Amino acid sequence: MERPSQGVQLLGSLLAAFAIAAVAVAIVTAKFGPTSSAERELQEERIEQREEAAEERRELREERLEQGR
Amino acid sequence: MEQLIDDLTRGNVTEVKVLLASVVLALAVYQLLLAAVAYGWIRLPFLSAAPASWVHRASGDTIVLLTVAVAAMCVGYYGFDFGDDGGTHAIVAVVLLGVLATKILVVRVGGQLGRLLPPLGVSVLVLLGVTWLTSAGDFLGIA
């Protein structure tokens, strides 16, 4: 098998380094899952919004019940 | 310093540190293969010594930059902890930076000292592995 030119070897080796770095980033990011602070904050925000909406609904229901009496 | 690191990582200091350290470790393993080709210990049909050596240098420069960034984040945000929890990590990391600095010095000086490069390179890889295991590996539940 004939070796490719030095330029191609150089480019190929550099691309391999980039690919290795990209794979490492992908594996580690996948391992993090929803544990990153940004994701956690987003989840907490969503929970808070849901709780506030539920609270508003409860208050509305109570008001309606009082008006009905 | 703490606030700057927190702002740069948008509050994900540990995650960014673990990610960068993992990239460094992956590239360090690749470095070993490139060095083996450059020294002629391994002969590959598609890669000769000169390009392998050039990419080894380029990848090595990247590793140094990333390692210094991770170390700065680590010390700047968490400080030095030589206690029970971070003792091994802190000691191995300090030794790693020392060996890395020695390797860079040997590369710059060259000559007879060049014989020291293979053992220094292997030492850097082993120390990187231990530093990663005692911090990132712990965080990822591997160590």
Per-residue pLDDT reduced to its tens digit, B110-121: 888 889 999 999
How many residue contacts between A and B have a Cβ separation below 8 Å? 71
pTM: 0.79
Q: Domain tally for chain B?
A: 1
Enclosing H/E stretch for B46: none
Kindly report, residue by residue over B19-45, the tens digit of the pLDDT. Answer: 999 999 999 999 999 999 999 999 999
* 3-state helix, strand and coil shares in percent for chain B, rounded to the nearest 5: 80, 0, 20
pLDDT digits (tens, 9 = 90+) for A30-69: 888 765 566 677 778 888 898 899 899 989 988 888 887 6
* Structural domain harbouring B61: 2-139
Q: Quick one: average pLDDT of B133-142?
A: 84
ipTM of the complex: 0.85
List Cα–Cα distances, A52 to A6, A39, A64, B46, B61, in angstroms: 64, 20, 18, 63, 52
Span of A18-22, B73-77, B102-106 with lowest mean pLDDT: B73-77
What are the distances in angstroms from CA B12 to CA A3, A38, A48? 45, 7, 21
Q: Kindly determine whether residue B30 and residue A37, on different chains, have CB atoms separated by under 8 Å.
A: no
What residue in B sits closest to A18 (Cα-Cα)?
B27
Q: Does A22 touch chain B (CB under 8 A)?
A: no
Mean pLDDT, rounded, for B62-88: 85
Q: How many CB atoms lie within 10 A of CB B118?
A: 14
- Contact: B15, A32; criterion CB under 8 Å: yes
Question: How close B99 gets to chain A, by Cα (Å)?
Answer: 23
Decide if A27 touches B, using CB distance below 8 A.
Answer: yes
Count of residues making up chain A: 69
3-state secondary structure of A15: helix
**N- to C-terminal Cα separation, chain A:** 92
Residue B90 neighbours by CB under 8 Å, 6+ apart: B80, B81, B82
Among candidates B26, B51, B140 on the partner chain, residue whose Cβ is nearest the Cβ of A21: B26
Pick from B18, B30, B47: which is nearest to A20 by CB? B30
For chain B, what is the radius of gyration of the CA atoms? Answer: 16
Q: Are B11 and A3 in contact (CB < 8 Å)? A: no
A1 shares contact with chain B (CB less than 8 Å): yes
- Tokens representing B122? 């292997």
Closest chain A residue to B140, measured at CA: A31
- Give the nearest chain B residue to A16 (CA atoms): B30
Residue B18's closest chain A neighbor by CA?
Answer: A28
Cβ contact (<8 Å) for B140 and A29?
Answer: no
Considering only CB atoms, B23 lies closest to which of A21, A37, A38, namely: A21
